[in-house]
Chain A
């Protein structure tokens, strides 16, 4: 379980998280929606210990993410993360991209790592691209590679930071389909997203972020189709 407890986070004078609390149970899919600058991506970075926090606490399976004694490299193995920019490693083939971390981080044998990487690449529909260099692929394919690369570490949680925002519209579908598949398989996910349809259909709960706080959180369909908070109503009427 991921437990975010009253987290505050500032960049210089700008406070981007103003006391955020959120519990995500194993197997749950939570989507975070909200305007740009509302702090939703920052929250993911804080959960993954990429960004430090100013106060509050984040626990992943009971481990305090930001405690000094926490091995953050070890912790990140549990938390797969996919970004808006897919960041494929351009000097490696698709297969090598996905096999690298299992091999060097988990110290698997080369054969083992390749086997897992292959499986995850087939999982996201890239089984026929193993020896291709990622720069020769479309953004949607590269983003699916990024998902497979994260999955190859066998994470317990996936953090998805606007993974379709940088994609051409016609490529969004294939990536969302992949995420839908993961959700059906029971992967625990926190998705920062602008895809309201995806948030409504795939997630269990939706949280609406407004100026660094969660303005509304509830059952996905209810928040998207029948929001209670006027701020959420206003936001949703604008993005629709």
Chain B
């Protein structure tokens, strides 16, 4: 019996796992890179004067305000047109990381700014240098304060990573689209994909609340 469509079977699990893995890996890359860059920019913005801030701010505003899917398409089309197309993973990682950075920098900036000047003066009055005060006081207190927001951004990055499928990256959504076109079983597959995102996100947010309570200051 030869049909154009073949139903979902266990032999598809390899493809699905590849999709899962690719989703995880690009999310991790974006969260790590975005966090590191966001931390640096967030700190720089909390320290710097209005001019520098406005300059930084407008770039970040663009990254935050233009829909991710448009950024992905624009970026990959642009580098493609320049004659040296990037692998979907590379292009996707760059765009998703910068997008994450834009949100993380605001998160961290508000964290640094939440540490009162008088707290810092108290630290300096003990003889601590500026950098010791930053490292031992401002950083740990600021990071604790923004942990919930950091987790929120991270979780949405995991979900947003599905959009990288539009530039051909074989993450979970894209693999499932391929399976759907072959099996014509969209309902089962999309429900499965949805459950997968839930399985990643829910424990993380739950764990986040636990950590938050533990760190409560």
Q: Show the binding face of A for B, using Cβ within 8 Å.
A: 48, 50, 73-74, 76-77, 79-81, 83, 85, 87, 89-91, 100-101, 104-106, 133, 135, 146, 149-150, 153
Q: How long is the Cα–Cα vector from A149 to B124 in the complex, in angstroms?
A: 12
Q: What are the 6 tightest A-B residue pairs by CB atom distance, in nearest-first order?
A: A87-B122, A101-B126, A77-B127, A81-B125, A90-B217, A105-B127
* Contact mask for chain B residues 116-140; partner A; CB cutoff 8 A; 1 contact, 0 none: 1011011111111100100011001
- B141: CB under 8 A from chain A? yes
Contacts from B to A (Cβ < 8 Å)? 116, 118-119, 121-129, 132, 136-137, 140-141, 144, 217
Given contacts A73-B129, A74-B127, A87-B122, 19 further A-B contacts (CB under 8 A): A73-B127, A79-B125, A80-B126, A81-B125, A83-B121, A85-B118, A87-B116, A87-B118, A87-B121, A89-B119, A90-B217, A91-B144, A100-B126, A100-B136, A101-B126, A101-B128, A105-B126, A105-B132, A153-B126
CB proximity of A124 to chain B, nearest CB, Å: 16
Q: Judging by beta carbons under 8 Å apart, are B121 and A50 in contact? A: yes
A-B contact count (CB 8 A): 61
Are A87 and B119 within 8 A (Cβ)? Answer: yes
Report yes or no: B122 in contact with A133, Cβ–Cβ below 8 A: no
Mind listing 20 A-B residue pairs with CB under 8 Å?
A48-B125, A74-B127, A77-B127, A87-B119, A87-B122, A89-B119, A89-B123, A89-B137, A89-B141, A90-B141, A91-B141, A100-B136, A101-B126, A101-B127, A104-B132, A105-B126, A105-B127, A105-B132, A149-B126, A150-B125
B217–A91 CB distance below 8 A: yes
Q: Which residues from B are CB-within-8-Å of A74? A: 127
Choose one: A100, A105, A133, A146; the contact of B217 (CB below 8 Å).
Answer: A133
Evaluate contact between A150 and B118: CB separation under 8 angstroms: no
The answer to whether B122 and A76 touch across the interface, beta carbons within 8 angstroms, is no
Q: How far is the CB of A38 from the nearest CB of chain B, in Å?
A: 20
For B139, give the chain A residue with the smallest CB separation: A91
Query: What residues of chain B lie closer than 8 Å to A80, measured between beta carbons?
Result: 125-126
Complex alpha-carbon distance, A91 and B145, angstroms = 10
* Distance between A161 CB and nearest chain B CB, rounded to angstroms: 10
- Give the nearest-CB partner of A76 in chain B: B127
A89–B144 Cα gap in the complex (Å)?
12
Which residues of A have CB within 8 Å of B125?
A: 48, 50, 76, 79-81, 83, 150
Residues from chain A with Cβ under 8 Å of B119 in the complex: 87, 89
Contact A73 B141 (CB under 8 A): no
Contacts of A83 in B (CB 8 A): 118, 121-122, 125
CB-CB < 8 A to A100: which residues of B?
126, 136
Bound CA–CA A63/B217 (angstroms): 40
How many angstroms between the C-alpha atoms of A115 and B140 in the bound complex? 24
B140 & A91 in contact (Cβ 8 Å cutoff): yes
- Shortest C-beta distance, A48 to chain B (Å), equals 6
Residue of B nearest to A44 (CB): B125
Q: Which residues of A contact B141 (CB under 8 A)?
A: 89-91
- With a cutoff of 8 Å between Cβ atoms, the chain B residues found around residue A106 in the complex are 127
A79 to chain B, nearest CB (A): 7
Closest partner residue, chain A, to B144 (CB atom): A91
Least distance between B114 CB and chain A CB atoms (Å): 11
Which residues does chain A contribute within 8 Å of B137, judged by CB atoms? Answer: 89
What CA separation (Å) do A184 and B148 show in the bound complex? 48
Report chain A residues within 8 Å CB of B121. 50, 83, 87
Q: A74-B127, A104-B128 are in contact. Are A146 and B144 (CB under 8 A)?
A: no
Whether A105 pairs with B122 at a CB distance below 8 angstroms is no
How far, in Å, is A9 (CB) from chain B's closest CB?
Answer: 16
CA distance A44 to B127 in the complex (A): 15
**In the complex, residue of chain B having the shortest beta-carbon distance to the beta carbon of A50:** B121
CA distance A157 to B210 in the complex (A): 44
Assess the B217–A73 pair: CB atoms within 8 A.
no
Please measure, in the bound complex, the distance between the C-alpha atom of A91 and the C-alpha atom of B128, giving whole angstroms.
17
- List the A side residues contacting B129 at CB < 8 Å: 73
Determine how close the nearest CB of chain B comes to the CB of A210; give it in whole angstroms: 26
A202 to B116, CA, bound (A): 32
Distance (whole angstroms) from the CB of B122 to the closest CB of chain A? 4
The interface residues of chain B lying within 8 Å CB-to-CB of A79 are: 125
Chain B residue nearest in CB terms to A89: B137
